[in-house]
Structure 1
Amino acid sequence: MKFLKLSLAASVALGAFSTASFAQPLEDAIKGIDVSGYLRYRFNSDYYDNGNNNSNSKNTHRWKAVADFKAPVADNVAFNFGILYNNESNDVQGTGGIGSGLGSGKDGSFGVSTFNAVITPDSTATTVIIGKQRLATPVTNAGDDDRGTGILALNSDLEGFTFAAGAFDSWSIDDVHKGYDLGDNLGTSVTKPLYALAGIYGVDTAYGHFGAQLWGFYIQDIVDGLGFGELSWTGSTFNAALQYAIASLNNDAGDVLSVVHPNGNPAGRANIPEANDLFVINLGADFAQEYNVPLDVKLGWVTNFQDGTAVTLNDDGTAFKYAGALWWQNNATGISTSALLNRGVAGFGSEQEISVFYGAIGYSMVDSRLRIGLDYVWGNNEVTTGNATLYDIDFQEITPRISWKHNKNLTISGYYAYLMTDGPNPVSGNEDQDRARARVEVKYSF
């Protein structure tokens, strides 16, 4: 018979756990814990043609699993714990068809996504979250695993209003430039403190729901000030929203953005404008409730007035009501709203002017389980320095969509986005580019 030799410390630890007064059967330990999350598979087929007989394509398989565990409230305190598996960032296509994260090899990252305590006092409509949590703000995307470690307080004592204040000493954004140790789903974090304040208002009237929100952000050595505001109205058929974001970025030499956007600027300053903003008008209609016609449409316009458009930390931020899928997420158009991505951002000393019109239509059938839609986008991006035009790009995107809600848990969806640009490209210098993406997604929520 073999005996396992344990150190004294390990023996004491095992003995303590085996006789601890809090030991209990597993069934009792997990009683009352809520579990939610989803399993998602995505297949992307991307095509690129730079107009100079240089084209390529790439297929990627992407898996994601999210599970959040919420313990029951005891004495006004509850604990949340979340786990995450995600291989979205590890999809590098190498030469000769050899790469990583392409579907069958070693890929992905697995770890703790949230770990926090939630305090809800009886005497006030206040919630305080302390620990690692998702960053659900207009300039980040909690659904893309943006998260921070710190404290967030929410108060709704005043009817119709919610006030929020947050402070995070470290945080992570899923899609930032790899030239700086900022994330890319690789488990790294930004260690510059992030502070946020917000006020949110909503009221139901005989004329529809009126809403407003105002957010302010400060990030040491990165963002001197960032504000986001929205006014919205939703009626029984029609809806409208005005959105505006403005940012003053810290592009001093030696700070974070000078590493993310270097490109040899005078005195080592970051190659990104300090003054940025974005303005969005969105008009929509849904004819299902009032007219029993399962048709929805939206129209919108996007523009800016400052030198650049870098007003978010993640260009997948869910606040802006765009249509399309590609035009703000690649170098072809030269447009990006993220200050932390080294793409599509006008350089230091330049002035960027964008004008983007979009429209989308959707029709539901089969008891609203099947939805088909079509997005169309037309835009222009002009960047100048002094009296010289660096580039002037016109672009169009056409994106048909389809989704099938098999049941309350399982949804299958897909789209084919086709982007065409006309004008010298700021990266490749080619006159025209075509890009396309076909996506199939299967998502099971629980």
Structure 2
Amino acid sequence: MKKFAKMSLVAALAVAGTAASAQPLAEAIKNVDVSGTVAYRYNDYEDQAKGAKADANSSSATNNYKIAVNLKSKVNDDITANTRFIIGSKTDAASLGTSTDSDANVDLTLSEVNFTYTGVQGLSVTFGKQGIATPWTVSRDAMGDEQTGTGILAQYSVGPATFVGAYFNQTNFSQAETSGLLNTDGSENIYVLGAVASFAGITLDAFYADLQDIFDAYTIGLAASYDVASVKLSPFARYSSLDLDESSKDNALWQVGLNAQLGIFSAFAAYGESDDEGGNVYIDSGSQTNMDYHWRVTADGSADTEYLYVHATADVTEKVNVGLFYSQADYKKGNDINEVYVQAKYQMSKNFGTYVRFGDLDVDNSNEDGTMGRVHVQYSF
């Protein structure tokens, strides 16, 4: 059934295009791989707290939808054609209120059209409109926003190291959550250079980015994985810096963390601090350079702020996982925010899962707090 559905989708797209002879069309369909996600999320927040991650409309209940379909077609032995279609709100999820526009429709967007060349061993070059995969951005997300642009991305792997270089002459950064602060309109060129190396259980990465007339930024990350007795430990650390071209303020954020797993139990802790001049070191809040490990408490670019995330989970059965989560943002200038919530996750199959969350968001010296709930359902194919 799955194979038939994929073939039907590809055939429909092919028929909608230019006419071709029977043999090339059959070969084209044969060489197409279809993947993607279908996600639904229901949020119900009592508050609209400043500094808390809003997830669309935080003052009322919302239904959120996003469908992403990726088509990957082998052109020849060296080149692959790639496209990505999103049903939602441009590259983000469509959020529909339960009282207004309750039966509204969503838009269809062609977010990626590119070609990848792999004719040289160890080399991959993608050119065209594509997701911008950098430590400062989120290139693909089943529910959240995605950063895309037109340009070229090259990756070359040799031994334990991978080198990355990218250039984009237009982006959708004007729609990013930081567009107002960074003053971007999407026409700025961005250059990215980086390297990733792995050895003896340690992975080290270093990246530099220059967004034309906006900022210069760099980030250095370290991650490791060790087995100590029966415990699997995965420590990590990252330092990120972003300097705005038209401002004397330097933004910086450092963070350290640890994942630990013992049998059916796992635990996580992360701590970070932003610079006293500023902490905006990202384009997407969910990117590697930022701290966005739980739900609504995220590093929000504020200066001189401390962040703490801890949680513990357990596999009740092979398909059911439960956990307790706590997050805190300690502002030197502003009201502190903390959240606590429980989560139950049910992974029915490898490609279908759902989770339910319920908790409380608290803002010091403010009435902008209250309970929060979420139901998330996701199918991957």
TM-score exceeds 0.5:
yes
Q: Distance in 2 between matches of 1:146 and 1:49?
A: 26
Give, as a single letter, the amino acid of the residue that structure 2 aligns with 1:278.
Answer: L
Task: Give 1:324's aligned residue.
Answer: 294
Query: How far off is 1:417 after superposition?
Result: 4.0
One-letter amino acid of the structure 2 residue matched with residue 375 of structure 1: F
Instruction: Give the partner amino acid of 1:154.
Output: Q
Contact map agreement 1:323 1:375 (CA 8 A) in 2: no
Match of residue 394 from structure 1: 336
Range that drifts further, 70-79 or 318-327: 318-327
Q: Distance in 2 between matches of 1:406 and 1:82?
A: 27
User: Is residue 226 from structure 1 mapped to residue 236 from structure 2 by the alignment?
Assistant: no
Equivalent residue runs for 1:38-437 within 5 Å: 38-48=37-47, 57-72=59-74, 74-87=76-89, 91=95, 99-100=100-101, 102=102, 104-106=103-105, 108-122=106-120, 124-142=121-139, 143=141, 144-157=145-158, 159-173=159-173, 175-176=176-177, 190-203=186-199, 205=200, 209-223=201-215, 225-236=216-227, 237-251=232-246, 274-287=249-262, 293-318=263-288, 320=290, 322-328=292-298, 336-337=300-301, 345=302, 352-367=303-318, 369-383=319-333, 391=334, 393-423=335-365, 431-437=366-372
Q: Report if the CA contact (8 A) 1:232-1:240 is conserved.
A: yes
**Structure 1 residue 73: deviation in Å?**
5.3
Distance in 1 (CA, whole Å) between partners of 2:49 and 2:155 is 48
The two structures have a TM-score, normalised by structure 2, of 0.83
Q: Distance in 1 between matches of 2:261 and 2:157?
A: 30
**Matched letter for residue 213 of structure 1:** D
> Matched residues in 2 for 1:437 and 1:193: separation?
40
RMSD: 2.7
Letter in 2 for 1:242: A
Against the structure 1 CA distance between its residues 98 and 43, is the aligned structure 2 distance closer, same or farther, given a 3 Å change threshold? closer
**In the TM superposition, what is the alpha-carbon distance from 1:418 to its structure 2 partner?**
2.1
Q: Write the distance in 2 (CA, Å) between the matches of 1:65 and 1:85.
A: 5
SS at match of 1:279: strand
Q: 1:191 to 1:327 in 2, by over 3 A?
A: same
User: Structure 2: which amino acid aligns with 1:245?
Assistant: S
SS state at 1:48 partner: coil
The 1:86–1:92 alpha-carbon spacing in structure 2 relative to 1, beyond 3 Å, is closer
Between the aligned partners of 1:25 and 1:61, the Cα distance in structure 2 is 42
Instruction: After TM superposition, give the deviation of residue 28 of structure 1 in Å.
Output: 3.5
Question: Which position in structure 1 is the counterpart of 2:14?
Answer: none
Following the alignment from structure 1 to structure 2, what is the Cα–Cα distance between the partners of residues 356 and 177?
Answer: 19
Sequence identity percentage: 22
The worse-fitting range, judged by mean Cα deviation, of 211-220 and 371-380 is 371-380
Amino acid at match of 1:138: P
Q: Assess, with a 3 A threshold, how the Cα gap between structure 1 residues 181 and 360 changes in structure 2: closer, same or farther.
A: closer
What CA distance in whole angstroms lies between the structure 2 residues aligned with 1:160 and 1:327?
36
Report the Cα distance in structure 2 between the residues aligned to 1:110 and 1:27, rounded to whole angstroms.
Answer: 27
Whole-angstrom CA distance in 2 between matches of 1:196 and 1:113: 21
Gaps of 5+ in 2: 1-17, 51-57
Query: Quick one: distance in 2 between partners of 1:178 and 1:246?
Result: 18
Give the whole-Å Cα distance in 2 for the aligned partners of 1:48 and 1:437.
Answer: 8
- Aligned AA for 1:152? L
Letter in 2 for 1:422: D
Contact conserved, 1:181 with 1:190, CA < 8 A, in 2?
A: no
Match of 1:6 in 2: none
Structure whose CA Rg is larger: 1
CA contact 1:243–1:320 (8 Å) conserved in 2: no
- Are residues 46 and 318 of structure 1, via their aligned partners in 2, closer, same or farther at CA, if it must alter by over 3 Å? farther
Secondary structure, in 3 states, of the residue corresponding to 1:29? Answer: helix
> Normalized per residue, which structure has more strand?
2
SS of the residue corresponding to residue 406 of structure 1 reads: strand
Count, aligned residues: 346
CA gap 1:92/1:370 in 2 versus in 1, 3 angstroms:
closer
**1:131-162 deviations in whole A, cap 9, x for unaligned?**
111122221112232111100000002x1100
Q: Is the 8 A contact 1:282 1:321 kept in 2?
A: no
Q: What's the offset of the Cα at 1:421? A: 1.5
- Which moves more between the two structures, 29-38 or 66-75? 66-75
Partners of 1:154 and 1:45 in 2: how far apart?
42
